[in-house]
Structure 1
Amino acid sequence: ARDLHAHEETAALLGSALAAMGDDPSSTAHDRYDVLMARADAYRWSGRWVELTADIRSAIDAARTVGDAELVLRAATSGAQGALWQTTYHGEVDETLVAALREGLAALPTEPSALRCRATVALAGELYYAEPLAVRRALVDEALAMADKLGDPALRVEVMQISAVAVWTSATAHERVHLAEESARIAAEIGRDRDTVLSLTLAAVAHAEAGRPDRMRELAEEAMSEAQRLRLVYAELVLSGLIMPWLAMGGRTQECEQMLERVQRLHQQASIPQSEQAMMGAVFVYAVWNGSAPDVVEPLMAMARNDPLPMAPIVGALLCRVDRVDDAREYVRTHPVDLDHDDWFSMLAWCNAAELSMYLQDPVLAADVLALIAPFAGHSCSGGSGNAAGPVDTYIAFAHVALGDTAAASVHADRAMALCEQWEIPLAAQRLRDQRDQFGF
């Protein structure tokens, strides 16, 4: 089953093995550990991250029964391997894995080793929502230096992949391009096909954020072909969600609909933290660009009620776009806009806050958000790997409109129009034209 990339069948067979162990008095906790770790790996490649995490926790318990601290640490490190998003739901931290990683690192010899290296970078990934970037970067830098010193190319590939996810913010897009492309190069050289796909996917995402959609499309096409061959559901889901908004903004309706169907199908197959938001985001993006935005306002508001993401500016901006400005004003009065965050989702929230400030004529909000997005001129507005929404320059222009500086707004809007043409997203250009006419910039 493994040879045929039949990951679900592999997991099912290993599940039967685990069940049989219950009737076998000769089976040991170490045997159970081995099978749990093998099934977790099958879940990894089939995109079943919830089940993977459960098996890792069970493996940690089995390793503690054996009394082997190294086995505990090996299990705890495996949660971050192969992940293309954060391993937990937005804002959450898996305290079980963090505790196991900290305990294991404290017990390991201090000299460099592959296990210490993996545990260090895994800890950086697991602390994504618990520690600021500076803390995570220190762990990443330590792991990268250790991997280089050990000289194991497979280890370097793994560490660079996890590092790219662990330091994910808008400001690290270029750094993540380097990490992902270098890991893809090494993975291809040593014949690790799955890792090549994962690294190419991470590189495509980072290029999109950095305002390089041509390179994104090139890498995404290569990665998608291999992801389908290897039946890597996680990579397919991320790549589909990445490409779909660009098809929508490009007016390529039929291709966009096909990609949306793929996102929905893959979401049903996977159990990945944040995949629900990715799927719903794809639906909303499609509606916004195909002219049916009014139809998704209420569903978006309903989703936002129970969503830990900072959705207030996104809901408010959408209300404004469908000519419900008074409703938007009331919404953000009862759901205050929070700009005090800096993670994979922040750019989308910040840019929508800039658009909201223009419609509500709110110079205070505009000034606050302009300070956050101004350094990202030339980049793409997106929420991580999905929800691309045109050049950040568009939203910089909106903030200047709210501040009453139409001259500066016009300069940035001209730049945004040029990028829309270069990026082949005419619907984004048309929406900007309409807003320029409406607000006179």
Structure 2
Amino acid sequence: MAEPLNKFNENITSETKNPTDVIQQGMYYNLFSEGMDISPNLSEVYELALAYYESKILTKKELIKNSAYFVKVDDEFTNHYFICTGDPVKIPEYSSSRLKSFFINNQFRTGYSTHGLFPYRGKFHPQMIKAIINIMGLKPGNTILDPMMGSGTVPVEAALMGIKAIGVDSSPFCRFMAQAKCDALKIKHKCLDGLIDKYESIFSNFNSCPKKINVQKDLFFKNNQLSEESDSEKIFNLIFLAFLDSEGYAQRSKRKSHIEHFKSILERYITAVNKIAVVEKHLNITPVQTILQQGDARNLDVENNSIDGIIFSPPYSFAIDYLKNDLSHLKYFEKNISKLNKSMIGMRGKTLKEKYCIYLEDMDKVISECSRVLKKGRFCTIIIGTNDSQLSKALKIPKENVSGLNKVVIDIGLSKGLSHVRSLPRQIVGMANTMRQEYIVILKK
């Protein structure tokens, strides 16, 4: 064994380059072809990996049109660059410097298109989702499924990429939020002109009306005559989402009144919608229709072998109580909140241990459904993390003995006819987290 090892060492020595040259060239020089400019602030290993996969899988034309991690290819700006540049999210002047810094630094990751509407806990990084869609080999005309769509990141990205999307969520509020974001992609430029001047009367009507979505909608249409060119349903969804957003801000911050929060948030929403409308016209992008449903990921209303790709992020067992988190908003959409609890994965059970056991049973059903609807040879990507400390206490075992949920979903996938292709670790970055790392788990049928 000594001879091959010595020979190997000789090869390393013979290929050693001048340190100054290597350092000046940087890592990107050896990973990407000349003329490929990476998005700014790309700093994590998983981002570099996804960018590398994009560069190897996509054609030059596809990189320019749909890539997530490149701003220029052979001196031609990418669509992602045009979608992201400018002020990605209009932040109120009184917002904390930390919040402003987060959106500025993450301009190419999170703060573009309609993704900046409504800050939702557990939301995907849109840029990451766009890259995953690309490396899964999805093309315009294909259909992608997110069986736990939450705030709608997957359908929004898919719509802009020309990919049909089916989104499902057990929460009626999440379905509404995702619908509002997708609808906002199709509101014509300038259709929202003049609405900000009516913010006081709109707020007054919303705030004094019973907490029922249909009553709110009827009153809005009665008191606001919209132009014939506008899509009134889409505009109502956008404005009412801004109102729900302002409720959350008013509860968290007392520096401004509820109506002042509503005005600043509505201005931000209108700015974001008008901006993406201009970009769509400039790039000749027509967002594809999305189908968004309130439903159960354990029993999907989707045909066998009909889906070209799946991306979703299930609850990390009982790490976040989404029902409690969204309670004030859910009251507008559902009278019987306890009824929703029965369909919420990770929330059922009396003790934490019982909740975890039921969670595993539910995830078995969810992944079984994903395998059923996915076409052969296609990919299912699951983004998941493990709340080690909570599970350690619940199961009464040492933290180091807790089986990661990423390993759990891989094992379930293997039992459902899915092979494990790769897992990419990702550090969780945000305002506050109950865990520090999650995994991008790529499975194939």
TM-score for both structures, normalised by structure 1: 0.26
Kindly indicate whether structure 1 or structure 2 has the higher relative contact order, using CA contacts under 8 Å at least 6 residues apart.
Answer: 2
Which has a greater percent of strand? 2
Which has a greater percent of helix? 1
